Each structure stands twice: as structure tokens, then as C-alpha cells.
């Protein structure tokens, strides 16, 4: 004679599946790889050790400005419902420039322009907070950190006289010790649209601020914290 407990043994898992089905259906689980390109307007904040007079910092800050740059990379995104993360690898090119005019005025006499280009290999670790608008359209807020491995910094100086270029060259200063690893604070707002079952595109205005200077701490040198504001475009291949 069949036991009463035998059908009940199969009934309980079935009821459990029935109760949890709406929850599982509502939950969004997604993983994707993406290729991204992110042009930016760059800037820098000047800092210095105790051995640098404040007047020197002010004078240097008045002749410097940020320059444009970009980053490009391969990223991996994972999302479970409203929370996810982004990691991957990015190449970052940024920097600043300075223009020292003669006392005679702009375009008169001797002038010196210096362009500094810094290159980093970046690894982001960012949290994403998602909100679905439609089944295909999503928005997100991103907050996280980035680790930037210094690859190379090039300093190019160009001389002018009465507005005409008279020479250019790469400056190699052995006294400058660049920090090998720099951390940054990363934040962004994103709009994500699915192009089908397997593809999506994301557009993200973003801001990144280097938490440390580009040079190793030295009390008699100027240091610069880079920052970038730009728009990141990512084409994603959804794998799950």
C-alpha cells in the first residue's frame, strides 16, 4: 500500500517552486563583456610638500591647464536585480600643459610651452545601482575605485620667439620619480539600451579623480592629482 507521505514529499517542492516563481521571474540577472571608448577633458590639482613656497604653487597654477585625453578598454559587468559591479582593464591617456610667456606679452619675445602626457593601465572596481525604465531601457549610478599602473610620462617642451616656433624636444628629468600605482575615485551616470537579446549599448557621463599625486612624495617638488570629466560609450555582448 503506498504511503501517504510519498505524494506529500513531491507536493512540497512543487508548492515551493510555485510560490517563488514570481520572485525569480521579476529578478534580473545579467552578465556581459564590453568594449568601451571614453574621451575626456582632463585637469589637475597642484599640491606640494612643505619645502615649496606657496607663491611658487600659485605662479605655476596660473600658467597650467588641463588637456583632452581618452581611455579605452575591455570590461566585464555583472548584475543581479538592482545591484551589480564592473571590472576589467583600461588604457588611460591624460595630462596637462603649461605656457610661460615673456614679460613683453603674449606672442612677443621668448615663450616656453610644456606638454605632459601620462599613460596608465587601469583596473576599475565599481558598484552599479540599476533601475529599469522599460524592458529595454535602463539607467544606473556608478561609484567605485580604480587602480592605475603608471606606464610612461612624456614631457615635451616647445620654444617660441615672437609667436614662431623655434624648437621642440623631449625632456628627461631624472629627479622626477613617478608613483607606480595611483588610486582614483570613479563615479558615473549611465543610460543602457538593449539592442536585442545579446547586445546592448551604454552611454555614461563620468568623473574620475586621482586620490594621489603623479609623483612620489617629495617635500621640494610640485605634485599633481589628475582628474577627468567625459562621456564613456560601451558596446556590450550579453552572455547571460
The C-alpha cell 517552486 sits at 17
Give the model's pLDDT for residue 105: 61
Give the model's pLDDT for residue 159: 85
Q: Are 79 and 132 in contact (CB under 8 A)?
A: no
Give the model's pLDDT for residue 151: 97
Residue 55 in any domain: the answer is: yes
The C-alpha cell 611658487 sits at 56
Give the model's pLDDT for residue 163: 74
User: How many domains is the chain built from?
Assistant: 1
What are 183-233's pLDDT values in tens digits?
999 999 999 999 988 999 999 999 999 999 999 877 788 899 999 999 999
Residue 222 in any domain: the answer is: yes
Closest CA to 116 of 58, 67, 164, 174: 67
CATH of the domain at 138: 2.40.160.20
d(CA 97, CA 64): 6
Cβ within 8 Å of residue 79, ≥6 positions away: 28, 29, 30, 31, 128, 130
Closest CA to 223 of 178, 174, 183, 185: 178
d(CA 108, CA 101): 8
State which residues of the chain have pLDDT below 70: 1-26, 102-107
Give the model's pLDDT for residue 18: 44
Give the model's pLDDT for residue 26: 55
What phi-psi label fits residue 88: left (phi over 0), alpha (psi between -120 and 50 degrees) or beta? left
Give the model's pLDDT for residue 138: 93
Residue 19 in any domain: the answer is: no
Residue 92 in any domain: the answer is: yes
Tell me the whole-structure pTM to 2 decimals: 0.83
Give the model's pLDDT for residue 184: 97
Q: Enter the DSSP assignment of 178.
A: B
> Residue 147 sits in which domain range?
28-238
The angle at the Cα of 169, spanning 163 to 173, to the nearest 5 degrees, equals 120
d(CA 191, CA 186): 17
Residue 2 in any domain: the answer is: no
Closest CA to 77 of 135, 141, 27, 125: 125
What phi-psi label fits residue 187: left (phi over 0), alpha (psi between -120 and 50 degrees) or beta? beta
Amino acid at each position: 500500500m503506498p504511503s501517504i507521505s510519498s505524494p506529500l514529499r513531491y507536493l512540497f517542492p512543487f508548492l515551493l517552486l510555485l510560490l517563488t516563481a514570481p520572485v525569480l521571474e521579476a529578478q534580473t540577472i545579467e552578465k556581459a563583456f564590453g568594449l568601451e571608448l571614453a574621451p575626456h577633458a582632463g585637469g589637475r590639482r597642484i599640491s606640494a610638500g612643505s619645502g615649496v613656497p606657496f607663491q611658487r604653487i600659485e605662479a605655476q597654477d596660473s600658467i597650467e591647464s588641463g588637456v583632452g585625453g581618452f581611455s579605452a578598454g575591455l570590461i566585464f559587468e555583472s548584475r543581479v536585480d538592482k545591484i551589480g559591479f564592473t571590472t576589467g582593464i583600461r588604457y588611460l591617456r591624460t595630462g596637462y600643459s603649461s605656457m610661460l610667456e615673456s614679460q613683453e606679452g603674449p606672442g612677443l619675445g621668448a615663450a616656453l610651452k610644456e606638454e605632459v602626457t601620462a599613460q596608465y593601465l587601469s583596473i576599475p572596481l565599481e558598484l552599479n545601482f540599476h533601475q529599469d525604465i522599460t524592458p529595454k531601457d535602463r539607467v544606473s549610478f556608478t561609484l567605485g575605485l580604480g587602480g592605475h599602473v603608471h606606464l610612461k610620462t612624456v614631457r615635451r617642451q616647445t620654444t617660441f620667439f615672437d609667436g614662431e616656433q623655434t624648437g621642440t624636444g623631449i625632456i628627461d628629468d631624472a629627479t622626477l620619480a613617478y608613483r607606480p600605482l595611483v588610486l582614483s575615485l570613479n563615479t558615473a551616470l549611465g543610460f543602457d539600451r538593449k539592442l536585442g537579446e545579446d547586445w546592448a549599448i551604454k552611454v555614461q557621463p563620468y568623473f574620475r579623480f586621482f586620490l594621489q599625486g603623479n609623483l612620489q612624495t617629495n617635500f621640494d617638488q610640485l605634485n599633481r592629482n589628475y582628474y577627468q570629466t567625459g562621456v564613456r560609450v560601451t558596446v556590450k555582448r550579453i552572455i547571460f
